[in-house]
Amino acid sequence: MPELILKPGKERSLFRRHPWIFEGSVARLNGRARPGDTVDVIDADGRRLARAAWSPKSQIRARVWSFDPDAIIDDAFFKRRVAEAVARRQAMPQLAGQDGMRLIHGESDGLPGVIADRYGDTICLQLTAAGPDKWRNAIVGALVKATEVFGVVRIYERSDSDVRGLEGLEPVTGWAYGEAPESSLSIDENGVRLGVDVVGGHKTGFYLDQRDNRLLTRDLAAGKRVLNCFCYTGGFSLQALAGSAAHVLSIDSSGPALAGARANLAMNPQLDPARAEWQEADVFEALRVFRKEERRFDLIILDPPKFAPSAAHADRAARAYKDINLLAFRLLNPGGYLLTYSCSGGIGLELFQKIVAGAAVDAGRDARILRRLSAGPDHPVALHFPEGEYLKGLLVQAD
């Protein structure tokens, strides 16, 4: 087996069980390895530490499959890891009755570069690194076996994220198992029916990570005038309507996303469409117009796209987060609630809180954090891999 030799001192992160080995930590590779091949990880003193997937074109040169240096990385390995990840979700009482959930969350489930989301009888699979790309067939087979209990009959691969380019990988999309459904996909999320587009939708077709936060929105919405910014296909909006909001205005710059939102509302006859308003616009510009019009809201949701894909973009992203939160505070009624989120990996929770606090000060508002928010339990964060906690949010109440 090829040997990845670390530079002196670069074994420390592995002792902390962090699964990434960066280019600058590698002294040399003994032997030949193709992208995705398994390599022995050996420190400068010759100690065997782990087995990892080799990725010669990425700054992350290897991702650890196992910290057992004698582990055998084969089909049986992936069958075990996938089965364990699925079993953890089955054991979570918070997920009981949900037919939309993340089954595999990459490094936090011991499967770096593997994302698998379940939508009813369909799984959307995303492989973002060279290692899982090499083991595609084993991972698909393991998923088929492990999800029999859910009645899964098809798997769509959606390996088209930009990060694959950093691995030197081409996009891969298509049905990896089974055939396309005869009708459109949808899930029941806490009593609200929501459509899912695994082929053309964002991420793997939907934002499963916000499920619990959408339920919180429903709990807060009764009798309130709600503004949902960057609404996509209306997940937050429909939960607010289900919570008896007086009126919900939803804004997105994408016409197709708003069409999907209207279709979702039509799938839920228990919700009153007269209380829903949809607006296609740039959110920043729309909020500035609302300020001039002196419009006010009781509950504002900010769930913007990823402003900072990496720490290198943090300064520019911080300005965007500051701007949007400042506008929200100026539109919020006294005693109103702001649900504000960041999914940018380059913006940590501490920095995000500082940004929101600065926005409140500039808006002349006193405010307090009622809850810190994150993704649901089907998006676990391994203690040794804090990078897995990409979604952070705050529930804030302003005076």
- In a domain? residue 285: yes
Residue 329 within any structural domain of the chain: yes
pLDDT digits (tens, 9 = 90+) for 75-96: 999 999 999 999 999 999 999 9
* Same domain for 240 and 378: yes
pLDDT tier, 345 (very low <50, low <70, confident <90, very high otherwise): confident
Which phi-psi region, left, alpha or beta, contains residue 191 (left: φ > 0; alpha: ψ -120 to 50)?
left
Q: Is 341 helix (H, G, I), strand (E, B) or coil?
A: strand
Which of 32, 49, 66 is the C-terminal boundary of a domain? 66
**Statement: residue 124 has pLDDT above 90:** yes
What element of type H or E holds 42? strand 38-42
| Cβ neighbours around 228 below 10 Å, total | 30
What integer pLDDT is reported at residue 314 of this predicted model?
Answer: 78
- What percent of the chain is modeled with pLDDT above 70? 99
The answer, yes or no, to whether residue 331 has pLDDT greater than 90, is: yes
Residue 311: predicted pLDDT = 65
User: CB under 8 Å to 68, separation ≥6 — which residues?
Assistant: 50, 51
**Does some domain include residue 161?**
yes
Q: Which residue has the tokens 């209306």?
A: 234
Domain boundary (66, 86, 115) is at 66
Catalogue the E-assigned strands of 318-365: 332-342
Query: Does residue 192 fall inside a structural domain?
Result: no
Same domain, 124 and 164: yes
Domain housing 226: 207-398
Tokens for 274?
């007269």
Residue 125: name the closest of 108, 99, 144 by CA. 144
pLDDT digits (tens, 9 = 90+) for 233-251: 999 999 999 999 999 999 9
173 and 217: one domain? Answer: no
**Are 115 and 246 in the same domain?**
no
378 shares a domain with 258: yes
Q: What does the DSSP assignment read for 194-263?
A: EEE-TTTSSTTSS-GGGHHHHHHHHHH-TT-EEEEES-TTTHHHHHHHHTT-SEEEEEES-HHHHHHHHH
- Residues that are catalytic: 343
Return d(Cα 381, Cα 191) in angstroms, integer.
27
Q: Are residues 268 and 286 in the same domain?
A: yes
Token pair for residue 74? 């084969």
Residue 345: what residue type? G
Helix H, strand E, coil C: the string for 86-155 is HHHHHCCHHHCCCCEEEEEEHHHHCCCCEEEEEECCEEEEEECCHHHHHCHHHHHHHHHHHCHHHCCCEE
Residues 311 and 365 in one domain: yes
CA–CA separation, 383 and 381 (whole Å):
6
- 199 found inside a domain: no
**CA-wise closest residue to 329 among 368, 382, 384:** 368
pLDDT at residue 344, rounded to an integer: 87
With a cut of 80, say whether residue 308 has pLDDT above it.
Answer: no
Domain boundary among 186, 219, 237: 186
Mean pLDDT confidence for 179-186: 94
What is the number of other CB atoms lying within 10 angstroms of the CB of residue 81?
20
Residue 101 phi, psi dihedral angles, 5° rounding: -160, 155
pLDDT score of 138? 98
Reference 160, options 126, 109, 187, 186; nearest CA is 126
**Mean pLDDT score, 203-212:** 96
Residues in the chain: 399
Burial class (CB in 10 A: 0-12, 13-18, 19+), 15: exposed
Same domain, 260 and 388: yes
Residue 352: give its domain's CATH number: 3.40.50.150
Cross-strand pairs, 322: none
Cα gap 105→378, rounded to integer Å: 8
In a domain, 198, yes or no: no
Strands 225-229 and 247-252: parallel
Q: Is residue 235 within 8 Å of residue 214, measured between CB atoms?
A: yes
Average pLDDT in the 2-30 region?
A: 97
| 275 plus 374 within the same structural domain | yes
Residue 149 CB: number of other CB atoms within 10 A? 9
Q: What is the mean pLDDT of residues 43-57?
A: 97
Is 260 found in the same domain as 148? no
pLDDT at 283: 97
Domain count, the chain: 3
Tens digits of residue pLDDT in 152-174: 999 999 999 999 999 999 999 99
The domain that contains 174 carries what CATH number?
3.30.750.80
* Domain CATH code at residue 32: 2.30.130.10
Q: Rounded to 10 degrees, what is the CA torsion of 148, 197, 241, 102?
A: 40
Helix (H, G, I), strand (E, B) or coil at 12: helix
Whether 322 and 229 map to the same domain: the answer is yes
Kindly report the backbone phi and psi dihedral angles of residue 269, in degrees, each rounded to the nearest multiple of 5, phi listed first.
Answer: -65, -15
Determine, yes or no, domain membership for 255. Answer: yes
Same domain, residue pair 281 and 392: yes
In a domain, 362, yes or no: yes
Dump pLDDT digits (tens) for 250-269: 999 999 999 999 999 999 99
Spatial CA neighbour of 13 closest among 43, 37, 40: 43
